[in-house]
Amino acid sequence: MAGGAREVLTLQLGHFAGFVGAHWWNQQDAALREAADAKETPGELCPDVLYRAGRTLHFFVEECDYLQGFQVLCDLHDGFSGVGAKAAELLQDEYSGRGIIAWGLLPGPYALGEPRRNIFRLLNTAFGLARLSAHSSLVCPLSLGGSLGLRPEPPVRFPQLHYDAALPFHCSAILATALDTVTAPYRLHSSPVSMVHLAEMLNYSGKKVVTAGATIPFPLVPSQSLPDTLVQLGGATPWTPLSACGDPSGTHCFAQSVVLRGLDRACHTSSQHAPGRPLPSPLHACSTGEEVLALYLQQQQPRARSSAHLLLAPCKVAPPYPRLFSRLRQQGLVPDAAPTGPAVDSIPVLGALCSSSSWNRTLGDLAQELSTLDLRRWASFLDAGVERDDFQELLQELHGLAQCYRAGDGLEA
C-alpha cells in the first residue's frame, strides 16, 4: 500500500494469512473504487493498493519513494510462525531503521481431542511470539479464540455479528476488518504518525507485544450522537479483545492507539440539550469528535499514553465479504426496529492497539504450560531443527517478556 509516498510493504505467509489478506485487499480495493467515483475527503485513508507476487523483495523496495516499513502477516499456530520470524530477522538486518510490524494470525477455536496438534500449536505460537518480538518493532497476535494455551476458551462474541467461528472465511473477514482499522494511523494522506512512530509509542520498555481489540460495528443508533453512545458503553472496555488474552477487565493499559471510523460528522458531538439543564456528561461539552474520543479514552485509562484518530471513511463490507450483519442498516448502524432495504455495504468500526498488563499473565501462563511438557514425547518437533537449549531459552524469553508488563511498571501519562 502507498499513500503520499509513505509506502508499506506487506509479506503474507501462511494458509490462514491468505484468508485474512484476501479480505483485507478486497476492503482496500473497494475503498479505492469509491475514491475514484466521489470527492475524497482530505486527510482520510489512502486506499492505494498494489498486490503483486514475487521472489525478490529488493525490486519492490526500489520502487518505493519513501518506505515506512514492513508488515508481516503470518500464521502463528504452525510452521509459518518460524518463516515469519526469519523474515522479520532478515528485514531487520537488511533495512535497519524501518518499521516492522508482525501480525500473528490464528484461526478459530480448536478441539481438546487433538493433543498432538494442540501441542505443536502451543510450541509454534510460543516460539513465534518470542522470535517475532526479538526482530520486529511490534508484534500483535490476532485471533477470535479466547486463549493461546492448551485449554480452549469459547470464541469472542460480537453483539451485532452472526458468525461461525469454525469457518476461516468468517473469522478472517472479522480480523481483516480490525486490521484495516488499527493500521489506519500510518496509512493516512496527511498524518504525522508513521509506522515507526506508532511502534515507538506502544513498545517502550520492551513491551513489543500488544493486544488488538475492535467493536464491529460501532453501536451507534441513528438518533444518538457519539457522546451518547460512549456514555452508554459505561466503564467497561468498549472493544472486543482479539489477541486471545482472555477478559481484559481489571488489566492496566500502558499505551493505546485507537481509531474510530465511519461516523457522519453530524454525529460527532451533541447539540440536542436544553439551555439551562446540566449536560449528561463532560463528553457532551466537547466541540469536536476528536475531543470527545480523546476525553473518553482519558476517562477510561487516565494513566495510559493515548493516541486517537477519528475518520469519516467507513469500513467496506460489500461482497465477497460474508453477510454477518443481518440486523443492521445499509450503513452499518443499529436499527430502532426491524431493518428493511439493501444489505449492509459499509460499517463504522472502533479499533485499538494496546500495550496491556494482560500480557504479564498470558505470557507467564504460556511459559508455565510449556515447562510441563516432556519434549521427548514430541521428537518430531525436535527433528525439525529445534534444540533443547532453544526450548530453555524460549522459556527465559517468555518470562522476561512477561516481566515487562507488570502493572506497576507503566509510564504515567
pLDDT by residue (tens digit) across 218-240?
Answer: 999 888 999 999 999 887 889 99
Peptide bond into 217 cis (omega under 30): yes
Cell numbers describing residue 123: 510450541
pLDDT level of residue 12 (50, 70, 90 thresholds): very high
Q: State the burial class of residue 53 (Cβ atoms within 10 Å of its Cβ: 0-12, 13-18, 19+).
A: exposed
Mean pLDDT computed over every residue of the chain = 87
* Mean pLDDT, residues 30-52: 57
Residue 68, phi then psi, degrees to nearest 5: -70, -45
Residue 104, pLDDT above cutoff 80? yes
Q: Is the pLDDT of residue 2 over 80?
A: no
Domains of the chain: 7-206+370-378 (3.40.50.1440), 211-355 (3.30.1330)
Task: Look at the chain and count its residues.
Answer: 413
Q: Residue 389 burial (CB < 10 Å; 0-12/13-18/19+)? A: exposed
Sign of the C-alpha dihedral computed for residues 314, 319, 321 and 324 taken in this order: positive
Looking at residue 330, what is its pLDDT? 52
pLDDT at 40 over 80: no
pLDDT range class, residue 35, cuts 50, 70, 90: low
* Predicted confidence (pLDDT) per residue in 243-282, tens digit: 999 888 888 999 999 999 999 999 999 877 666 678 889 9
183 has pLDDT over 90: yes
In this predicted structure, the answer to whether residue 94 has a pLDDT above a threshold of 70 is yes
DSSP state letter for 268: S
pLDDT over 50 (residue 284): yes
Contact residues for 283 (Cβ-Cβ < 8 A; gap 6+) = 226, 227, 230, 231, 270, 292, 295, 296
CB atoms near residue 183 (< 10 Å): 23
Q: What's the pLDDT band for 331 if we cut at 50, 70, 90?
A: low
**Prediction pTM value:** 0.90
**Cα 316 versus chain centre, distance:** 17
Shortest CA distance to 361 belongs to which of 410, 401, 302, 411?
401
Measured from the Cβ of residue 312, the count of other Cβ atoms closer than 10 Å reads 16
Predicted pLDDT of residue 45: 67
| Whole-angstrom distance, CA of residue 317 vs CA of residue 311 | 17
Of residues 104, 236, 259, 79, the one with CA closest to residue 175: 104
Amino acid at 370: L
Distance CA 396, CA 384 (A): 21
Are 141 and 187 a contacting pair, CB within 8 Å?
no
Question: Which letter does DSSP use for residue 308 in this model?
Answer: E
pLDDT band at 59 (very low <50, low <70, confident <90, very high): confident
Q: Tens digits of per-residue pLDDT, 341-399?
A: 567 889 999 999 999 999 999 999 999 999 998 877 877 777 777 788 889 999 999 99
Rg of the chain (C-alpha set): 21
Give Cβ neighbours of residue 145 (< 8 Å, ≥ 6 apart): 106, 108, 109, 110, 152, 153, 155, 156, 165, 244
Identify the weakest region by mean pLDDT among 33-37, 143-147, 346-350, 384-388: 33-37
The count of other CB atoms within 10 Å of the CB of residue 299 is 13
Extended strands (E) in 76-176: 99-105, 138-142
Can you give the pLDDT at residue 43? 45
Say what the pLDDT of residue 413 is.
Answer: 36
- pLDDT of 5 reads 54
Handedness of CA 320, 323, 324, 325 (dihedral sign): positive
DSSP 8-state class, residue 187? G
- Longest CA span, the chain: 76
